[in-house]
Each structure stands twice: as C-alpha cells, then as structure tokens.
Chains A and B, each alone.
Chain A
C-alpha cells in the first residue's frame, strides 16, 4: 500500500483558516473512518490532534477540525496562531495496516 498524499506545504496569516488535504484510496481513507491527524514541532514527538476523521482529543483547541469526502480527508485550522506552525501528518488505519501521509509543513506568515 502506498503512503497517503499530502501537499508538502501550506501557509496562512494569523487569524486566517488553512485546510490541509490527505488523499488515499478506496482501500484505506475511502473505506475506514479511522483517519487521524498529528502535529509535530521540530525535535518533538508527534501529537494527536484529530482521530476518527473529526474527533478532537481532550485539550486540543476547537480551532482544529477534520472531515472526509470519498478518498480524501482534510484538516482545517481556523484562527491561525503562531504556535500552529508545525508539520502535520495524516494517518489511516487500513485493516491491519497503518498508513501515514508524507507530511505538510504549515507556515504562519
């Protein structure tokens, strides 16, 4: 199975909204509502931001939201803040396998 496809970069100004896409296939993203999103700051461990397409773990700001349409999942960050600048990775559970996207570097201008 191939990795999920994400744009390498995204950007926005403080206060704006940015959406990052994650494209898979009918055998992973398209079939399972088990898409999760991770935020990773340099030198740090990834942090779970979204699970099951759109569920936010406790402590994650509601500025972060997730959705899915067909084989593509999306992460939207609203009201961008400086601390949102990080790498973002999507992941999909596909049967017994786990796939990750290549990551998107989000820059807050």
Chain B
C-alpha cells in the first residue's frame, strides 16, 4: 500500500518561499506510469491543482501559479518537493501530495499539511 506524507513548516512569512516535501513509502517514486502531484485546498474551499512531476524530472504547473512554483523530485530519497515563492495570505491552505496515474486520477493522497502565511 502506497503512503504519502507531507512535511515542512506550518508557518511562512509573507514574501518568503514555502517549501514542502512529500515522502513516499510502500512503493517506488520511480515506478513508471505515475506522476506525483501537489494539490492545495484553501480553508473551507475546493481543491486546486498546483502541479505534478514525473520521476524523470519533467514537471507541469497550473498556469496561475507557474511563475512562482517549482516541483522537484529526489528518487534516491523517494521524495518530491514543492517550492512556492513570494507567498501571500492567499497561499494559506492545506497542501496535499498525491500519486496520479496515467489517466489523471489520483489514487493515493497524503493527509495534507496546513501552511499559514502570516507575519
């Protein structure tokens, strides 16, 4: 059973960079046919796709955040990471990592981690 766990600071100051890591267990991040996503959920709101990465390092981002987002992968640690720069209060959300299959369905999710942007 694949498991994902997010980790990182729960509080980030405005204008700084949000950094989160997702550790994958129970399966290899290098397994073909999957991609690894970051998805966020503003308090009381719906899901927002941020971006995803293949184990090869090829990444895709949602257009609205593309200028501020970087997703990277470390296959040796079975981890992938999210960096979101120049954060504002509008970036306060629960951030989930998830595994996606070739047809875009996310079958395994992390529990999510709340990141608050505040001074």
* Binding partners A and B: yes
* CB within 8 Å: A-B pair count: 65
CA distance A103 to B45 in the complex (A): 8
With known contacts A46-B47, A52-B103, A97–B110 Cβ distance under 8 A: no
Task: Indicate whether B28 reaches chain A with its CB closer than 8 angstroms.
Answer: no
CA distance A75 to B62 in the complex (A): 25
Range of interface residues on A (Cβ < 8 Å):
20 to 34
With known contacts A45-B109, A46-B47, A101-B46, A93–B96 Cβ distance under 8 A: no
Determine the residue in chain A with the shortest Cβ distance to B107.
A48
Interface string of B17-39 (1 = CB under 8 A from A): 00000000000000000000101
Distance in Å from the Cβ of A12 to the closest Cβ of chain B?
A: 21
B-contacting residues, A63-102, CB 8 Å: 89, 91-93, 96-102
Which of chain A's residues have a CB closer than 8 A to the CB of B103? 34, 36, 51-52, 93
Determine the residue in chain B with the shortest Cβ distance to A36.
B105
> Which A-B residue pairs are the 3 nearest by beta carbons?
A93-B104, A51-B105, A36-B105
Query: What are 29 A-B contacts with C-beta separation under 8 Å?
Result: A1-B63, A32-B104, A34-B103, A34-B105, A36-B105, A36-B106, A38-B106, A44-B111, A45-B96, A45-B111, A45-B112, A46-B47, A47-B109, A48-B106, A52-B105, A57-B107, A89-B47, A91-B47, A91-B104, A91-B106, A92-B104, A98-B37, A98-B100, A99-B49, A100-B39, A100-B47, A100-B49, A102-B46, A103-B45
